[in-house]
């Protein structure tokens, strides 16, 4: 009988499921950056909430621009509502990140309404 041959040794760069490498520790301030699951969930939720509400804001502005020019007050009203929803979108994103919703960033939310009113009046 012949002696059993040992299994071939794997190269170091290949994954060995029977002998996993230990995880490298994350150094503070290093190039490796890890985020907790809570932070990632907050970012995803705030982006989803803000984009959903901003789509509604843009829809109100577009609806205001589609109305006939003889209903100018309705056009401006829908554009103002679009701006209000834009402000709510920014406030929601700030609140999800546990920041004070009363911030200068709220001015970004007025952009859809301002652009809508400008387009409706020109």
Q: pLDDT per position in the chain (122 positions), as tens?
A: 678 888 877 676 777 777 777 777 666 655 556 778 999 999 999 999 999 999 999 999 999 999 998 999 999 999 999 999 999 999 999 999 999 999 999 999 999 999 999 999 98
Cα 110 to the center of its chain, rounded Å:
18
Contacts of 53 (CB under 8 A, 6+ apart): 85, 86, 88, 89, 92
pLDDT at residue 9, as a whole number? 75
Does the predicted model carry a pTM greater than 0.85?
no
CA distance 74 to 83: 14
Cβ atoms of residues 75 and 64 within 8 Å = yes
């Amino acid at each position: 009988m012949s002696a059993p041959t040992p299994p071939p040794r794997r190269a170091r760069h290949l994954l060995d499921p029977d002998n996993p490498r230990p995880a490298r520790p994350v150094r503070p301030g290093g190039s490796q950056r890890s985020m907790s699951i809570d932070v990632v969930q907050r970012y995803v939720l705030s982006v989803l909430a803000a984009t959903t509400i901003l789509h509604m804001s843009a829809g109100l502005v577009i609806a205001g621009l589609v109305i006939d020019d003889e209903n100018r007050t309705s056009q401006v009203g829908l554009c103002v509502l679009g701006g209000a929803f834009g402000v709510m979108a920014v406030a929601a994103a700030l609140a999800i990140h546990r920041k004070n919703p009363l911030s200068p960033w709220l001015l970004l939310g007025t952009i859809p309404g301002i652009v809508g009113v400008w387009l409706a009046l020109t």
